[in-house]
């Protein structure tokens, strides 16, 4: 570890040496061509091409001016560039578009393949990490793309000929666009910033360090002890924070008093992680026995001196903020990372998303569902009941027995991969299509909780990663695998079957999460286990609704932490930790204490996404809303799941609300779920 730190220090020193250059770049990035020169270029283009293309000319010239730097040439060079490279002829514009799309696919696809290989050891269960793994894994092969595209003026060519549209413009105009016009609109979206490569490399390094910190953060569960000194968990159980801890907590809802005691112990572990009172000595350590209640540790019969983890969790979050804030000046359309996360990446306004979440978590329906859960449990709600899993059909299944079945059926990744075509056929895909999709998916054993990594060009494959222990796949790994399979199927269809490469994918990560949720919830039926409960439809509605309640609160914490960071950019890790605790308790007291009857609980601060994936969390609750509306549409129309999913995915990456209107004839809203929850409560009660 000391060698690793030393090598990383060298990397930071190299970055620091480039700081002066970065500062000069930053100053230069604020320069623009003056208004007189812009007007002269526009007038000369009008004279050259007439005013039939007036809007494109005005927009294109202003876009190039926005990103033109002194190194690109003087004002005469700017005018000359615009005159020589504006494409008025539609056929020639189509040629430029088609060729550029192809070259983008080759570049983005190759960068993606390199990135996957460089991070392979970090992401897969391939043994102990070494310093060289970290150094290569934190390198971003695409970091020079923007520099190169602006330096050779390819970016200027695109900006001159393809208008960039704001989110408001896309929402207002896009409903009348053809597929080609949508694909055209995505061209300028590639070049919305001119961030120096040195800064992008720094961002990749910091992001990788945070991701590795999380993926290596395991709790040795059989070494936990309660206040009676009792071991509650079976031997050889290692759980990653927070995913593994959460899933183990969920798995104990059908196990009586023993299950409740395990849940309470897990919650104590979570609180110690959030407050950073967890001893650094017990993280990933097989040798120490730890009592989270008393926060004491032993080695054998001897007490061991322990030291709290020194705010490492919040250092990583702060480092992410600082580097992303450094990028702000290079993004004229999106002046903060909050803007980029929502308006650029999600293409949903942050204010709209926050309002949507607050509406649901403060609803009367939440209180009714909370009361129902308390009744079903036969006790008052505990804070960890935000993860109540009793509405799912698998809650009536013995997880250990499920795991035994899965151990035999899937002893390794290849056995699981071989069964993917069968999964897809059971979901309603034709056999030939199921095989076609499956050949583009490979399964690998994850070092962390699991994830999916899609291809970016035809000919490449999507990577499905889940934890697969030596004894074979257990139920947790299978359940996660089904979630990731949903991602991989979406990634494959929206790359290989989409009409324009520039429209590959879905509108944002919430949509791919919705696909993943829908695959994940069908995990038992794909094992041949069917729930015959006549209330299944209503129970599923309540399950999704409660999941929304949980993750929306976590997302509100995430948003408010980032707002606070922008208001307090010089905060220390200690100050950030304290503020996260303030925010988590404030959100809890507003929207959860009225339901749970307990105040000042910090549980909403446990999510690892906050540390490793900045402002990603909002994708999950929006994904749940999309999931609900899509599932409801399929049921209402008595449609085949696979056929409808395939139809919807071919909408590609248009803006979210337009995608939803084409898919289910509704925009994203809480109203459909509120209505269904009331119906479900009447039936289930």
Helix, strand or coil, per DSSP, at residue 196: coil
**Dist CA 263 CA 44 (whole Å):** 72
Average pLDDT over residues 234-244: 93
Q: Which residue has the higher pLDDT, 88 or 24?
A: 88
Average pLDDT over residues 610-619: 95
* Residues 371-396 pLDDT 10s: 999 999 999 999 999 999 999 765 56
For the chain, the 3-state helix, strand and coil shares in percent, each to the nearest 5, are: 65, 5, 30
Model confidence at 623: pLDDT above 90: yes
Confidence grade of residue 535 (pLDDT, cut at 50, 70, 90): confident
**Dist CA 137 CA 121 (whole Å):** 8
* Residues 495-528 pLDDT 10s: 999 999 999 999 999 999 999 999 999 999 999 9
Q: Which H, E and C letters describe 340-391, residue by residue?
A: HHHHHHHCCCHHHHHHHHHHHHCCHHHHHHHHHHHHHHCCCCCHHHHHCCCC
Model confidence at 6: pLDDT above 50: no
| Partners of 132 in the β-ladder | none
Closest CA to 485 of 419, 563, 561: 419
Model confidence at 272: pLDDT above 90: yes
Closest CA to 683 of 499, 540, 548: 540
Confidence grade of residue 467 (pLDDT, cut at 50, 70, 90): confident
pLDDT in the model for residue 28: 45
Helix residue ranges per DSSP H, 378-498: 399-409, 413-418, 420-426, 431-438, 475-496
Instruction: Write b or e for each residue in 394-418: b if 16 or more Cβ atoms lie within 10 A of its Cβ, otherwise e.
Output: bbebebeebbebbeeebeebebbbe
**Lowest-confidence segment of 99-113, 265-279, 394-408, 620-634 by average pLDDT:** 394-408
pLDDT in the model for residue 559: 98
pLDDT in the model for residue 1: 35
User: What does the block give as tokens for 193?
Assistant: 């910033």
pLDDT in the model for residue 393: 62
* Residues 168-192 pLDDT 10s: 999 999 999 999 999 999 999 999 9
CB 498 within 8 A of CB 507: no
The number of angstroms, rounded, from the C-alpha of 99 to the middle of its chain's C-alpha atoms is: 31
C-alpha distances out from residue 593 to 252, 377, 402, 546, 588, Å = 23, 18, 35, 15, 6
* Residues 315-342 pLDDT 10s: 999 999 999 999 999 999 999 999 999 9
pLDDT in the model for residue 438: 97
Q: Which residue has the tokens 């989110």?
A: 167
Model confidence at 29: pLDDT above 80: no
C-alpha distances out from residue 567 to 319, 325, 561, 576, Å = 16, 12, 10, 12
Number of C-beta neighbours around residue 63 at 10 A: 24
Which contacts of 590-595 are long-range, i.e. CB under 8 A and separated by 24 or more positions? 590/362, 591/358, 591/361, 591/362, 591/366, 591/553, 591/556, 592/361, 592/383, 592/386, 592/553, 594/367, 595/366, 595/367, 595/370, 595/381
The contacts of residue 117 (CB under 8 Å, 6+ apart) are none
* Residues 568-579 pLDDT 10s: 999 999 999 999
**Dist CA 215 CA 207 (whole Å):** 12
Looking at the chain, the whole-number percentage of residues with pLDDT higher than 90 is 85
pLDDT in the model for residue 27: 42
Model confidence at 49: pLDDT above 50: yes
pLDDT in the model for residue 395: 55
Q: What are phi and psi of 450, to 5 degrees?
A: 125, 150
Q: Which residue has the higher pLDDT, 298 or 27?
A: 298
CB 26 within 8 A of CB 69: no
Q: pTM value?
A: 0.85
| Mean pLDDT, all residues of the chain | 92
pLDDT in the model for residue 573: 98
Q: Which H, E and C letters describe 487-549, residue by residue?
A: HHHHHHHHHHCCCCHHHCCCCCHHHHHHHHHHHHCCHHHHCCCCCCCCCHHHHHHHHHHHHHH
**Dist CA 452 CA 67 (whole Å):** 35
CB 529 within 8 A of CB 664: no
CB 484 within 8 A of CB 465: yes
pLDDT in the model for residue 127: 87
CB 338 within 8 A of CB 615: yes
* Residues 384-435 pLDDT 10s: 999 999 997 655 677 889 999 999 999 999 999 999 999 999 999 999 999 9
Model confidence at 298: pLDDT above 70: yes
Average pLDDT over residues 66-77: 95
Q: Within 13 Å, how many C-alpha atoms sit on residue 13's CB side? A: 6
Closest CA to 585 of 569, 596, 572: 596
Confidence grade of residue 529 (pLDDT, cut at 50, 70, 90): confident
Closest CA to 269 of 210, 224, 216, 217: 224
Closest CA to 465 of 494, 485, 438, 491: 485
**Dist CA 521 CA 14 (whole Å):** 47
Model confidence at 532: pLDDT above 80: no
The contacts of residue 98 (CB under 8 Å, 6+ apart) are none
Closest CA to 675 of 647, 618, 636: 636
* Residues 92-118 pLDDT 10s: 999 999 999 999 999 999 999 999 999
Average pLDDT over residues 21-38: 64
**Dist CA 64 CA 44 (whole Å):** 15
pLDDT in the model for residue 41: 97
**Dist CA 240 CA 446 (whole Å):** 12
| Partners of 299 in the β-ladder | 302
pLDDT in the model for residue 25: 46
pLDDT in the model for residue 250: 95
Model confidence at 23: pLDDT above 60: no
CB 275 within 8 A of CB 603: no
């Amino acid at each position: 570890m000391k060698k690793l730190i030393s090598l990383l220090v060298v990397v930071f020193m190299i970055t620091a040496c480039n700081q002066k250059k970065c500062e000069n770049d930053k100053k230069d990035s604020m320069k623009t061509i003056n208004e007189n020169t812009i007007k002269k270029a526009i007038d000369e283009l009008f004279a050259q091409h007439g005013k039939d293309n007036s809007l494109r000319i005005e927009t294109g010239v202003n876009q190039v001016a926005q990103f033109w730097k002194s190194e690109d040439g003087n004002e005469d060079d700017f005018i000359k560039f615009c005159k020589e490279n504006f494409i008025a002829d539609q056929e020639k514009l189509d040629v430029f578009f088609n060729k550029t799309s192809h070259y983008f696919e080759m570049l983005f696809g190759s960068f993606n393949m390199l990135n996957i290989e460089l991070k392979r050891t970090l992401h897969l269960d391939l043994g102990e990490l070494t310093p060289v793994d970290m150094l290569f894994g934190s390198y971003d092969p695409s970091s020079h793309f923007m520099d190169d595209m602006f330096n050779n003026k390819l970016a200027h060519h695109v900006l001159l000929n393809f208008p960039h549209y704001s989110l408001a413009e896309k929402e207002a105009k896009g409903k009348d666009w053809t597929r080609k016009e949508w694909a055209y609109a995505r061209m300028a979206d590639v070049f919305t910033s001119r961030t120096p490569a040195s800064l992008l490399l720094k961002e990749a390094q910091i992001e990788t360090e945070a991701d590795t910190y999380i993926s290596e953060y395991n709790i040795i569960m059989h070494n936990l002890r309660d206040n009676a000194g009792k071991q509650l968990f079976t031997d050889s159980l290692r759980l990653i924070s927070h995913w593994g801890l959460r899933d183990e907590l969920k798995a104990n809802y059908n196990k009586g008093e023993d299950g409740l005691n395990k849940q309470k112990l897990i919650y104590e572990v979570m609180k110690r992680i959030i407050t950073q009172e967890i001893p650094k000595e017990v993280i990933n350590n097989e040798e120490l026995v730890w009592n989270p209640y008393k926060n004491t540790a032993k080695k054998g019969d001897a007490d061991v001196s322990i030291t709290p983890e020194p705010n490492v969790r919040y250092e990583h979050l702060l480092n992410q903020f600082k580097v992303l804030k450094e990028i702000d000046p290079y993004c004229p359309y999106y002046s903060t990372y909050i803007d980029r996360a929502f308006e650029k990446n999600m293409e949903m306004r942050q204010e709209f998303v926050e309002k949507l979440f607050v509406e649901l978590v403060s609803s009367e329906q939440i209180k009714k569902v909370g009361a129902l859960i308390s009744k079903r449990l036969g006790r008052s709600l505990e804070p960890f009941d935000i993860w109540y899993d009793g509405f799912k059909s698998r809650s009536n299944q013995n997880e250990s027995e499920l795991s035994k079945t899965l151990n035999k059926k899937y002893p390794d990744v290849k056995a699981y991969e071989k069964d993917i075509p069968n999964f897809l056929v059971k979901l309603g895909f034709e056999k030939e299509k199921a095989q076609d999709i499956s050949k583009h998916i490979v399964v690998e054993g994850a070092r962390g909780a699991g994830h999916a990594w899609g291809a970016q060009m035809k000919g490449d494959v999507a990577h499905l990663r889940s934890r697969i222990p030596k004894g074979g796949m257990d139920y947790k790994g299978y359940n996660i695998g089904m979630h990731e399979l949903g991602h991989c199927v979406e990634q494959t269809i929206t790359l290989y079957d989409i009409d324009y490469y520039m429209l590959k994918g879905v509108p944002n990560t919430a949509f791919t999460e919705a696909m993943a949720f829908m695959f994940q919830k069908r995990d038992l039926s794909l094992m041949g286990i069917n729930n015959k409960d006549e209330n299944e439809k209503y129970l599923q509605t309540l399950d999704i609704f409660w999941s929304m309640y949980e993750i929306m609160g976590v997302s509100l914490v995430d948003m408010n932490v980032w707002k606070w960071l922008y208001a307090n950019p010089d905060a220390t890790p200690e100050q950030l930790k304290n503020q996260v605790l303030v925010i988590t308790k404030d959100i809890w007291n507003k929207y959860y204490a009225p339901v749970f009857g307990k105040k000042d609980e910090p549980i909403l601060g446990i999510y690892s996404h906050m540390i490793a994936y900045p402002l990603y969390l909002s994708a999950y609750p929006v994904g749940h809303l999309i999931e609900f509306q899509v599932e409801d549409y399929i049921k209402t129309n008595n449609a085949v799941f696979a056929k409808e999913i395939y139809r919807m995915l071919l909408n590609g990456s248009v803006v979210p609300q337009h995608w939803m209107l084409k898919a289910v004839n509704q925009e994203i809203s809480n109203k459909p779920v509120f209505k269904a929850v009331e119906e479900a409560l009447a039936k289930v009660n």
